[in-house]
A and B are shown apart, each in its own frame.
Chain A
């Protein structure tokens, strides 16, 4: 009776409209669920806004979450543009933090700008190299990058656990498994009460936007994303493009890890990310792989995260409510992808009374 038919290509605007309406539908659905469970949905939404924006402290906390989310999403976007499904931002984030922490623990006697620059470079390199593994495996053996990047996340986290509980355990921690807190020289300074990672994040948004829309590499990446054969016929060096793009993608995640361990945690541990590397996959997708939109969407998601934490203590409801909202949003957006690509048409029964 119904048939699924492939749609013609939609305009960008229409695509975004569908996504936005998916989010709105998701929020309505959330409201219904909350009401059924016995909460006042309006109160929940207003508390999320209140908890994330209504004082300087809360805004700063929201921005603190926006920063890593934005930078992680930028990295994911570069890979996704190439249709390289890098869901390993989480692991690349940890390896970046690992590189930065190595510098912080061993070279903190150097002047602060030098230490921070070294940490930044180490973070970018470690994140990039960690992402390079699935890229090389893919180009050499045609492995699935989705699986490999996913698995490498867990290896990276376990590696940090190993360091935290083993060789890097703080000798002054009387047995408590934690890595020593960084010296002041290894902590990112604050600007306007916010750690200066926000400047780095903004610069990176601009740079990635230019990279993806204005440069030759960006063009090559998107051609490669459309079709590898086309890229080959056009004379592009496919392997080289993949490797450079993935190095950049991993480097972004590594930089996010460096900023998080330096500015927020001021040490390294195996709970550093709190799952932001996975959230970044959602934000990137929602933002349609566009760098400026990533900034907006990351801010909105940070709002949800900070608001969710506020909900917990203010209304004594679990912070997981925010996660439920996120889950419902992603579910609706994924469903909307279907409607972007296909439409359902009603077909009249053609075959009459087949016995």
Chain B
């Protein structure tokens, strides 16, 4: 009996060490065969292009992924064939999803969540003649662009709406993950709130998920129970908005216009218009002018916007939002212009200066007025 157990472990160990040596050589072989000649400069015919999307959520999530999927629909209208994989987790499954799409003939790949970054980079290295776009990350390569919207501009505007609406002066914020993208949004929102209501605070609750209706709703209820009468969200579904309506509070959506999900609560939502990027990017491939870039556009390019205000908004909100929108668009107002203080009251951005794009991109601390930890 002991012998068989011993033999079992021994054999398995032998198998492990035996293949330890020979494996690497074959590894290199497979990589070289996949490398073929590229023709960068010439354009491509629309019918030769096949675009593959790797989505974090479902295409009908009424939020983030649905907003991206509008881009796919716009491409299909241009006569471009598109495939997608939805509800892809942020682990090696995403690498497989990308490979699956390439295996099925895609020569353009877009991956729409931060956690896909390293996997996108990895596959992009192996397929130099496929063009990649990764949304919200910071790693580029010769055949890999990044793209994102200056959501903080629209976030700032939505902060004005929330700041004018709250009576308790307590606003809740259901947030996904403590990464710069989310922190930046919370800060911009809070600065917007405080521009019209310096006494209001924004309390953050982390869910550690982008897309999970049950967890999002639970988190929203938790923060509403603390006395917040307006909540905002950095989540992909309408679950927090539904929670706000059930609790008789008000809410600000995200990504897609969703007034119908919580008609009595919905104030507005900062929106993405991903089709702006997707159409532009694929057009460049058709024209033969595509090259790797870091696309980051805001209100001016129509990449982000604020949804039409509903009747739930406080009086005078429209005017305040219009004024701020105009100032942001003509450069008079920058959400991250000094003076800005951190949570402990230290001056982080002195008066007369503005944060650089790099500083905005890598933000890892909360501004004054935010309750919660930027470490998650």
A interface with B by C-beta (< 8 Å)? 55, 57-58, 61, 112-113, 116-117, 120-121, 124, 165, 174-178, 181, 188-193, 196, 199-200, 203-204, 207, 210-211, 215-217, 244, 248, 255, 264-267, 269, 271-272, 274, 309-310, 312-314, 316, 318
Contact = CB atoms under 8 A, between A and B. Distances in A.
Given A57-B103, A190-B26, A312-B86, 12 more contacts: A113-B17, A117-B13, A120-B16, A165-B208, A193-B26, A215-B1, A217-B4, A264-B92, A272-B91, A313-B83, A313-B84, A313-B104
Contacts of A174: 179-180, 362, 364
A193 B30 contact: yes
Interface in B341-376: 362, 364, 374-376
Contacts of B9: 121, 124
B99 A181 contact: no
Contacts of B90: 178
A120 B12 contact: yes
Size category of the binding interface on chain B: 35 or more
Contact of B1 (A217, A267, A274): A217
A50 B12 CA distance: 33
B12 A175 contact: no
Contacts of B27: 189-190
Given A175-B179, A244-B5, A57 B15 contact: no
Interface of B: 1, 4-5, 7-9, 11-13, 15-20, 22-24, 26-27, 30, 52, 83-86, 89-93, 96-97, 99-101, 103-104, 114-115, 118, 177-180, 183, 208, 362, 364, 374-376
A199 B26 CA distance: 16
A177 B23 contact: no
Contacts of A192: 26
A57 B16 contact: no
Interface centre among A175, A188, A266 (most CB of B within 10 A): A175
Contacts of A191: 19, 22-23, 26
Contacts of A244: 1, 5
B83 A181 contact: no
A308 B364 CA distance: 40
A288 to B, nearest CB: 22
A211 B11 CA distance: 14
B364 A175 contact: yes
B20 to A, nearest CB: 4
A181 B99 CA distance: 19
Contact of B92 (A190, A217, A265): A265
A312 B179 contact: no
Interface centre among A191, A314, A318 (most CB of B within 10 A): A191
Pairs A-B, 8 closest by C-beta atoms? A189-B23, A196-B19, A113-B20, A175-B179, A175-B178, A265-B92, A113-B17, A217-B1
A271 B7 contact: no
9 contacts: A113-B20, A124-B12, A175-B374, A175-B375, A190-B26, A191-B19, A196-B23, A199-B15, A217-B4
